[in-house]
């Protein structure tokens, strides 16, 4: 499971992709009984379980394509720009403490491997991105090599989708997730095995689309 250079979301080629929002509405995944939604992000956000309607349909198709003893567990969908800024600033501050020798540009680049800057139309704020994992039929999370949202520092880059420093079982589970999600139109952010998106700039660039179809949207009331 080795890949070449990782394309970061702040790459100028990605940022150059135009955005033309198609007006797809946000829906609450908790209303879709086929999908399991974890509540760990509920205290941080009132929109964590929301996603664009077309993305929700694709998640249902992905769920139906999984082996019968596996299910998707949704961790987080939509994220407000204010919360995105908080996450980005917090991680940047953490990196500054750990690497005082790094320049501001280096901090910005390394932080972007884990959380996108709110200034670049971040995927979660479009309602097109979702963080998820796999669970068994009892709801127990499967071995994916790291916890969801493990950062590169703590995991020694094992959070990267094609990391080698994880167990063979974790590699197998990641491959299952990768195949199912990719076949249903999603694009993975390769520094985060759990992060998948559809309709945002990163998706558009990787799928050779003329434009992204989702812009940042407001938190549903």
pLDDT per residue as tens digits for the range 49-84: 999 999 999 999 999 999 999 999 999 999 988 888
3 state SS of 17: coil
Counted residue by residue, the chain has a size of 221
Burial code (b: 16+ CB inside 10 Å, e: under 16) for 40-60 equals ebeeebebbbbbbebbbebbb
pLDDT tier at 221 (50, 70, 90 boundaries)?
low
User: What was the pLDDT predicted at 173?
Assistant: 98
pLDDT per residue as tens digits for the range 101-113: 999 888 888 887 7
Domains, the chain, ordered by start: 12-80+124-206 (3.30.1380.10)
**pLDDT beyond 90 at 208:** yes
Residue with tokens 């079982």: 169
3 state SS of 203: helix
pLDDT per residue as tens digits for the range 83-133: 888 888 888 888 888 899 999 888 888 887 777 777 788 999 999 999 999
3-state helix, strand, coil in the chain (%, to 5): 35, 15, 50
**pLDDT beyond 70 at 4:** no
**pLDDT beyond 50 at 3:** no
User: For residue 131, what are the β-bridge partners?
Assistant: 76, 195
CA dihedral over 126, 41, 170, 141, signed as positive or negative = negative
DSSP designation for 192: -
User: What was the pLDDT predicted at 126?
Assistant: 96
User: What is the pLDDT of the chain when averaged over all its residues?
Assistant: 92
Other C-beta atoms within 10 Å of 138: how many?
7
Q: Are the C-beta atoms of 14 and 201 separated by less than 8 Å?
A: yes
Q: Write out the two tokens for 120.
A: 């670049």
DSSP designation for 35: S
Q: How much is the pTM?
A: 0.89
């Amino acid at each position: 499971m080795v890949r070449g250079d990782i394309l970061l979301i702040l790459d100028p080629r990605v940022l150059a992709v135009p955005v033309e929002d198609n007006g797809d509405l946000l829906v609450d995944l908790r209303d879709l009984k086929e999908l399991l939604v974890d509540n760990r992000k509920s205290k941080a956000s009132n929109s964590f379980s929301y996603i664009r309607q077309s993305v929700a349909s694709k998640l249902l198709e992905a769920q139906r394509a999984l082996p019968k003893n596996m299910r998707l567990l949704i961790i987080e969908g939509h994220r407000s720009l204010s919360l995105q800024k908080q996450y980005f600033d917090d991680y940047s501050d953490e990196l500054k403490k750990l690497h005082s020798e790094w320049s501001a540009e280096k901090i910005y680049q390394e932080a972007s491997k884990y959380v996108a800057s709110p200034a670049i139309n971040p995927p979660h704020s479009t309602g097109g991105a979702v963080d998820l994992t796999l669970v068994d039929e009892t709801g127990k999370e499967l071995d994916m090599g790291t916890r969801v949202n493990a950062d590169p520092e703590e995991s020694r880059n094992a959070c990267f989708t094609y990391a080698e420093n994880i167990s063979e079982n974790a590699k197998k589970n990641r491959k299952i997730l990768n195949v199912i999600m990719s076949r249903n139109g999603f694009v993975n952010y390769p520094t985060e095995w759990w992060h998948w998106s559809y309709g945002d700039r990163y998706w558009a660039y990787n799928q050779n689309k003329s434009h992204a179809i989702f812009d940042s949207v407001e938190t549903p009331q």
